[in-house]
Amino acid sequence: MKMFTITTVLLTISCLVNTQSRQEGIYMVSNSVDQFATKLLDTTRRNLDESFNIALSPYTIWTLMAIVAEGADGNTLKQLQNTLTLPESMADFRYNYKQLALNLLNNQNGVQLDITNAIFVTNQYPLNDTFKQITRDSYNVDINSVDFSDSDRTLNIINRYIADATQQRITRLVNPDDIEQAEVFMTSVLFFKGKWRFPFNKTATKTEKFYADDGTTPIGTVEMMYHSAPFPYSALTELKSFVAELPYGDGDKYGMFVIVPSKNEKLNNVLDKLSKMDFGVIIDRLAQAAKEYEDEEIDIYLPKFTVISEYTLNVVLNQMGITDVFNANKAQIKGITPHSDLYLSRMLQKATIEVDEEGTVASSAAGGSFAYKTMKPKLMANKPFAFFIVDKLTRSIIFEGKISNPKGICATCTGL
């Protein structure tokens, strides 16, 4: 009886330890995703005119690049590990990533989150077996065979696949020239649908002015939603901003964090500073606020909005330190397919988000198109060959011959 109790206690303790270390592993990966996310947003906005709205799904882009890292080597791998903040050991990382992905998709009432990873590859040029197994087991990649030489059909297959995974929100990620030279196409697709925990009252939505960074110069109007509810809220002095969380579903898992700069602070400065800090600080701050001011209502004014964006991310990722994988002369990603040397010719992303009184629908697809490095043509006369000396103007062969035996053709050559 006593033995039994002790064993139970020990089991309970080891269970707790396991849960705790699994949680730490997940946080290690999510921390990497968040660092990448804030840098990606900051770098993207730097490449666009200030007047552009932006929608991005860092998780899918990050995941896709992590899958590429599984087939990468040398400097290409180093750059991916640096920019994605991956650890030295991909084996540990894989385990933690899988735990994160499983937990992320653990859906709640009122929220649907689907993430689909897929690779499209031509039948007669299959993936490396190790790569295939790793991507299936750890990244839940769905491997599909297509025929890239039949590009119209392949284009339709890939686009239809993504349209289905986003409930028809993204119907055309890929255009013909995106896969013109493609040998492998990878995609990571996300679909999110969440009902607000505290829905906005439609009758409270009014047309209101929207201002420039200074908060006083009107630059247009929006359909402003309004609601008063116990939204977690905090000042972020280090960012000269305020943040509120609009929870989805039951409220304890998914939420939209809305960060608004204080008076006289520009959003660009906030995004710059945010890209250099730990996003976990903001998550903790709001969790703390939710506990401390549980029943305190705040007024939220948020415009209804829809953003549809489409980017080729090569330049942005270059600026973030991932360069070699995009360079046909430098890419080292030999681990993806055994028969050819690939590089990442194009990294695409399309995203849409619709926010209204009831909630949010967001979807995105990241796509990587991998092409053969254009091989320098090679002629190696290391077996029997013929030669002709030609006068090109008169088109006359003036001399000819063949070499089929190395013996005696030069002082040191020998026949075996």
* Residues near ligand NAG (CB under 6 A): 128, 130-131, 201, 203-204, 335, 338
CA dihedral (101, 106, 109, 114) positive or negative = positive
Q: Of 198 and 242, which has the nearer Cβ to ligand NAG?
A: 198
C-beta of residue 121 within 8 angstroms of C-beta of residue 144? yes
Q: Of 178 and 324, which has the nearer Cβ to ligand NAG?
A: 324
Query: What is the smallest separation between the CB atom of 335 and ligand NAG, expressed in angstroms?
Result: 4
Using CB positions, name the residue nearest to ligand NAG.
338
Q: Of 119 and 289, which has the nearer Cβ to ligand NAG?
A: 119
Query: What is the smallest separation between the CB atom of 166 and ligand NAG, expressed in angstroms?
Result: 31
CA 171 to chain centre: 18
Q: Of 203 and 404, which has the nearer Cβ to ligand NAG?
A: 203
β-bridge pairing 141-146 and 111-122 = parallel
Q: Of 130 and 175, which has the nearer Cβ to ligand NAG?
A: 130
Those residues whose C-beta lies under 8 Å from the C-beta of residue 330, and which sit 6 or more positions away, are: 75, 76, 323, 324
Query: What is the smallest separation between the CB atom of 325 and ligand NAG, expressed in angstroms?
Result: 15
Cβ atoms < 10 Å from Cβ of 71: 24
Q: Determine the Cα–Cα distance for residues 311 and 174; give it in Å rounded to an integer.
A: 11
Query: What is the smallest separation between the CB atom of 146 and ligand NAG, expressed in angstroms?
Result: 21
Strand ranges, E, within 108-237: 111-122, 141-146, 182-195, 206-211, 218-229, 233-236
Q: Of 133 and 374, which has the nearer Cβ to ligand NAG?
A: 133
What is the biggest distance separating any 2 CA atoms in the chain, rounded to whole angstroms? 106
Of the candidates 213, 211, 209, 217, the residue with the CA atom closest to the CA atom of residue 268: 213
Query: What is the smallest separation between the CB atom of 43 and ligand NAG, expressed in angstroms?
Result: 30
H/E stretch holding 285 reads helix 279-292
Query: What is the smallest separation between the CB atom of 127 and ligand NAG, expressed in angstroms?
Result: 9
C-beta of residue 39 within 8 angstroms of C-beta of residue 319? no
